[in-house]
């Protein structure tokens, strides 16, 4: 697999790696100088608030001064960032190799002359796509680029429906006149009754179809009409996993049986399931993991029913789990039919099989269809991941973090439990929502950013350059916070 090439290329470099920070010039520790948010952030928020809704703004970033794992805010407060713009920062802030990228005149021209890529791609574009496919594709031959995670899922659904109908219609059969007329009026048979099966607590985005497969928080959905598509339970495991194997295996079986039932039910009602969308680890919904067995069986179920399997790696992709794609851990018998991405990859998109490529032009289409500037950044991020051996860094740092978090859940068993996740893609639960919110707030006041997930989860989403000495700082601050609660 291509991602293993990334690791191999860099092992020699890794062996001679020194223990200092992978991004030079990082501060040694967090430094909080003001109340949070500080006066400058408050002022900027008021200014912006006169023009936009700013309810979710926490602090304003000083992206000139932020460096490596350290986020600097408008008031000069320095945070160790273990949340990284909701899991988007790949190789840290202002990585020296990325700062050089647009000094190159060709790269700069690619960025400023942004083409409508589906109509006027640049002369280097085929090579760029080929290079991305050969380096990071999860063994899927085609790639479609988009902008964000939501629009990647939204458009991937279209590929699924188009391929599903083609299969039904037969390769050489044309659209009927009735189909052409009815689709314009949103009516069958032109607009067929088809569905995508998704899971409770999933998050796949916020546009209409992707929102119909999102089931985490009511505030994301309320007042918005939606699609009556099937929703199955995702396994909810008991921790520690080793002590709850029997119950967790039963949980897998129960959820898989429900998937099978729902597919049959929807088929009988005339709304067949054309695809299944699932996160390798439900991220916003609580860092909920499922076993390789669950995913292997889910893939078999999808195949048995002629439904396509879409793995949403928008949050899990790009290395935070210690593998470039989280589903590499699942040992699936064939690659999934589609894999969507965004966040650490800098732009959205999806890999897919040839079967999922529409035969006619403009069926999956928008003006930009990607962004060369972001692709150039991604190419360099992939190079840096190899040169700095970052998947191994993630695995080592992750081991240290997880091992210490396990100690904390014993020492502070009245406060936290259920430590989980691979690599640095980690989470634990607090005993109540109130305690969870206190942990996140108090960590921030001590200069460490982490995030919430699910009902009472705390999640870590550091950059791939988060090393063991950063983990030491994180753990020391967390211990202080837990002691003080």
Ligand X SMILES: Cc1ncc(COP(=O)(O)O)c(C=O)c1O
| Chain residues in the site for ligand X (CB under 6 A) | 148-150, 153, 203-205, 279, 283-284, 312, 314-315, 342
- 199 given a catalytic annotation: no
**Contact by Cβ (8 Å): 11, 50:** no
Nearer to ligand X, 203 or 412 (CB): 203
- 343 given a catalytic annotation: yes
- 408 given a catalytic annotation: no
Nearer to ligand X, 38 or 422 (CB): 422
In the DSSP assignment, the letter for residue 330 is G
How far is Cα 393 from Cα 375, in angstroms, rounded to an integer? 24
Which residues lie below 8 Å from residue 53, measured CB to CB, with a gap of 6+?
A: none
Nearer to ligand X, 283 or 291 (CB): 283
- 351 given a catalytic annotation: no
Q: What are the strands of the beta sheet with 457-459, ordered from one edge?
A: 416-420, 427-430, 457-459, 451-453
Q: Which of 79, 295, 330, 343 is catalytic?
A: 343
State the residue number with the nearest CB to ligand X. 149
How far is Cα 367 from Cα 121, in angstroms, rounded to an integer? 11
How far is Cα 431 from Cα 415, in angstroms, rounded to an integer? 5
Query: In Å, how far from its chain's centre is CA 377?
Result: 18
**Contact by Cβ (8 Å): 246, 237:** no
How far apart are CB 153 and ligand X at their closest, in Å?
6
How far is Cα 271 from Cα 4, in angstroms, rounded to an integer? 40
How far apart are CB 80 and ligand X at their closest, in Å?
22
How far is Cα 424 from Cα 459, in angstroms, rounded to an integer? 10
**Contact by Cβ (8 Å): 253, 177:** no
How far is Cα 99 from Cα 174, in angstroms, rounded to an integer? 51
In the DSSP assignment, the letter for residue 241 is G
Nearer to ligand X, 23 or 140 (CB): 140
Q: Is the bond leading into 366 cis (omega within 30 degrees of zero)?
A: no
How far is Cα 163 from Cα 274, in angstroms, rounded to an integer? 9
How far apart are CB 166 and ligand X at their closest, in Å?
26
How far apart are CB 53 and ligand X at their closest, in Å?
16
Nearer to ligand X, 289 or 312 (CB): 312
How far apart are CB 422 and ligand X at their closest, in Å?
16
In degrees rounded to 5, what are phi and psi of residue 120?
A: -130, 60
How far is Cα 376 from Cα 275, in angstroms, rounded to an integer? 32
For the record, the structure tokens of 365 come out as 């289409």
Nearer to ligand X, 17 or 206 (CB): 206
- Quick one: 297 exposed, middle or buried, by C-beta within 10 A (0-12, 13-18, 19+)? middle
How far apart are CB 310 and ligand X at their closest, in Å?
11
How far apart are CB 100 and ligand X at their closest, in Å?
27
Position of tokens 């966040």? 343
Nearer to ligand X, 22 or 326 (CB): 326
Three-class DSSP category at 480: helix
How far is Cα 281 from Cα 277, in angstroms, rounded to an integer? 12
How far apart are CB 285 and ligand X at their closest, in Å?
9
Q: Which of 71, 79, 157, 203 is catalytic?
A: 203
Q: Which of 75, 81, 312, 417 is catalytic?
A: 312
How far, CA to CA in Å, does 324 sit from each of 3, 221, 318?
Answer: 6, 31, 5
Q: Which of 109, 181, 367, 407 is catalytic?
A: 367
Nearer to ligand X, 192 or 421 (CB): 421
Helix axes 390-411, 2-15, angle to 10 degrees: 80
Could you tell me which of 460, 477, 382, 374 has the C-alpha nearest to residue 423? 460
How far apart are CB 476 and ligand X at their closest, in Å?
29
Q: What are the strands of the beta sheet with 231-232, ordered from one edge?
A: 142-145, 349-352, 338-341, 308-312, 273-278, 195-199, 231-232
Q: From the CB of residue 122, how many other CB atoms can be counted at a distance below 10 Å?
A: 16
Nearer to ligand X, 149 or 372 (CB): 149
Catalytic residue numbers read: 203, 312, 343, 367
């Amino acid at each position: 697999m291509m991602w293993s090439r990334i690791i191999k290329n860099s092992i020699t470099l890794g062996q001679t790696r020194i223990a200092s920070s992978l991004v030079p010039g990082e501060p040694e520790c967090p430094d909080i100088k003001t109340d949070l948010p500080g006066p400058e952030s408050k002022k900027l928020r008021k200014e912006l608030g006169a023009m936009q809704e700013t309810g979710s703004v926490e602090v304003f970033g000083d992206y000139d001064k932020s460096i490596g794992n350290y986020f600097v805010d408008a008031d000069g407060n320095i945070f160790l960032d273990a949340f990284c713009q909701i899991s988007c920062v790949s190789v840290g802030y202002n990585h020296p190799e990325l700062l050089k990228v647009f000094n190159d005149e060709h790269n700069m021209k690619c960025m400023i002359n942004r083409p409508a890529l589906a109509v006027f791609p640049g002369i280097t574009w085929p090579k760029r796509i080929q290079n991305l496919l050969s380096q990071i594709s999860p063994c899927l031959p085609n790639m479609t680029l988009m902008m964000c995670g939501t629009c990647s899922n939204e458009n991937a659904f279209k590929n699924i429906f188009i391929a599903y109908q083609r299969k039904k219609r037969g390769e050489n059969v044309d659209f009927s006149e009735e189909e052409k007329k009815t689709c314009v009026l949103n009516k069958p048979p032109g607009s067929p009754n088809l569905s995508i099966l998704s899971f409770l607590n999933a998050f796949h985005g916020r546009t209409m179809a992707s929102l119909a497969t999102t089931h985490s928080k009511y505030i994301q959905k309320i007042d918005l009409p939606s699609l009556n598509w099937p929703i199955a339970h995702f396994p909810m495991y008991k921790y520690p996993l080793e002590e709850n194997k029997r119950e967790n295996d039963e949980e897998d079986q129960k959820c898989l049986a429900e998937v099978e039932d729902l597919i049959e039910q929807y088929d009988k009602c005339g709304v067949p399931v054309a695809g299944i969308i699932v996160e390798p680890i439900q991220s916003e919904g609580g860092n909920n993991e499922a076993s390789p067995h669950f995913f292997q069986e889910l893939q078999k179920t999808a195949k048995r029913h002629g439904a396509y399997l879409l793995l949403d790696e928008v949050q899990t992709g790009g290395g935070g789990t210690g593998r470039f794609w989280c589903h590499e851990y699942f040992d699936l018998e064939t690659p999934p039919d589609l894999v969507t991405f965004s966040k650490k990859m800098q732009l959205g998109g999806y890999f897919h099989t040839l079967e999922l490529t529409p035969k006619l032009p403009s069926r999956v289409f928008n003006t930009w269809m990607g962004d060369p500037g972001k692709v150039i950044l991604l190419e360099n991020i992939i190079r840096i991941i190899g040169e700095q051996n970052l998947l191994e860094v993630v695995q080592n740092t992750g081991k240290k973090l997880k091992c210490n978090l396990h100690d904390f859940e014993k020492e502070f068993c009245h406060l936290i439990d259920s430590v989980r996740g691979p690599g640095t893609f980690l989470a634990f639960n607090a005993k109540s929502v109130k305690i969870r919110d206190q942990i996140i707030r108090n960590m921030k006041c001590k200069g460490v950013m982490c995030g919430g997930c699910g009902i009472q989860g705390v999640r870590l989403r550091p950059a791939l350059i988060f090393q063991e000495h950063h983990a030491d700082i994180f753990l020391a601050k967390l211990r202080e916070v837990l002691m003080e609660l």
